[in-house]
Amino acid sequence: MIRNFINGEYREGRTGRTFDDTNPVDGSLIDNVSEAAREDVDDAVRAAREALSGPWGSLKLAQRCDLLYAVAAEIDRRAEDFIAAEIADTGKPRSLASHLDIPRGAANFRVFADVVRNVPTESFASHAPDGKPALNYASRRPKGVVAVVCPWNLPLLLMTWKVGPALACGNTVVVKPSEETPATAALLGEVMNAVGIPKGVYNVVHGFGPDSAGEFLTTHPGIDAITFTGETRTGAAIIRASAAGIKPVSMELGGKNAAVVFDDADLDVTIAGLARSVFENTGQVCLGTERVYVQRSVFDAVVQKLADAAARLKPGHANDPDANFGPLISAEHQKKVLDYYALAKTDGAKVITGGGIPELSSSMKGGSWIEPTIWTGLAHGSRVASEEIFGPCCVVIPFDTEKEALHMANDTPYGLAASVYTRDIDRAHRFAGALKVGVVWVNTWFLRDLRTAFGGSGASGIGREGGVHSLEFYTELSNICIKLNGEAQ
């Protein structure tokens, strides 16, 4: 059984209920998960608060950062355990989990330990009205107990993307992983104990959203801040819950990201980038591309080459060395994506490739599989071209002018990410600067420097994460003003 991790110990939830953790490759049962009760969340928050004012809060910065380096090293040492847990929960190919999810999960602790060690704060020399000198300087302190509510698409990576900076800044955390992917968050508790992280610093409660662990945590009066990655409607509900205590929130929400391909683009580079951004992790990436705008003179060539890339995707069991394409996370999500596939046909889309469930071996018949899918012939304003699907699919739409492409790319309530493909450096700078998104890639996709700002605007979220930008959320900044005597004694 996968248990809650509270105050350094694994324990069953007081609800007495469990829920299934299933493998999306074949629908088989991985384990049962113990659902936390409100009292369990109370205990987790209390443990986090006691650690904050006790052993964790008394550590020097260097000691805290050394412990986070030890956490990263222990994740690396136990990489096979984390890979096994991640691919069982998500069904993603081992190659993806072993090269992205787990290494980044460890790296997040190192990166933010280094950021906190080296971040400067501002200081100003000035004078009081009487002419005496004064010194102003900034001081950072932890926010307190942070609720970390995590998604299922990149479970360890996105959870540690929040836990890493939170702990580096001296906070304590209570994590609510997705009910679809509870394993690696629970496993991380073993790492915390092994390296000597004090009890109560890292806690995990399992459950669902409304009337379960998610609601109990985000409405808890002992929580000082809430950070969430996930679907926009859930984010809106959390923001409403946070209003009661005027709690700061960091929200990384949905997207309907655009890629814009100009006729001077290197098509080999373009297709390599598009194939990843549309199909990687079965399209279950908040930064993924679902809208592709292509200048008319290269439209047919791009569509054909992207379809050829889709044809090279091979579904299979996560440990199959030839498999490079996994299932969707659940049967429920599969139904949602298939509903959009049906809607595209109803609206008159031309299905270039895909559009349904692939032919599968008998060992995968019970899984949540879907075909990588490309459509043309849909209007820019159609639902399939406007609403987030979160699957391995895209609509490809032609354009004639740069102005037209910019209008369509920006014509969305979302504002998370975009990519631009062109050899014209002036156009690249001009167009990227005019896109109303938080992240723009030029001639690439998902090339991340973890020190840079990450986040979206509009329906894509609130705030920025990464490097010193994470510190703006995980710390409180105070200005200290000292009036000096100004005379030698």
Q: Residue 126 carries which side chain, given as an amino acid letter? A: S
Report helix, strand or coil for 195.
helix
User: b/e per residue, 101-133, with b = 16+ CB within 10 A?
Assistant: bbbbbbbbbbbbbbbbeeeeeeeeeeeeeeeee
Q: Residue 272 and residue 292: Cα distance in Å, rounded?
A: 14
Catalytic residue among 252, 290, 388, 465: 252
Residue 44 in contact with residue 4, Cβ under 8 Å? yes
Tokens of 238: 């959390």
Which residues of 323-383 form beta strands (DSSP E)?
350-353, 373-376
Residue 36 in contact with residue 15, Cβ under 8 Å? yes
Query: Given the DSSP bridges, would you call strands 457-458 and 414-415 parallel, antiparallel or unpaired?
Result: antiparallel
The reply to whether 252 belongs to the active site is yes
The reply to whether 359 belongs to the active site is no
Catalytic residue among 286, 290, 388, 394: 286
Q: Residue 320 and residue 130: Cα distance in Å, rounded?
A: 76
- Residue 226, sorted as left (phi over 0), alpha (psi -120 to 50) or beta, turns out to be beta
Q: Residue 63 carries which side chain, given as an amino acid letter? A: Q
Residue 50 in contact with residue 201, Cβ under 8 Å? no
Give the closest residue to 172 by CA, choosing from 192, 193, 201, 141: 201
Report helix, strand or coil for 399.
strand
Rg of the chain over Cα atoms, rounded to whole angstroms, equals 24
What pairs with residue 325 in β-bridges?
315
Q: Which residues participate in catalysis according to the annotation? A: 252, 286
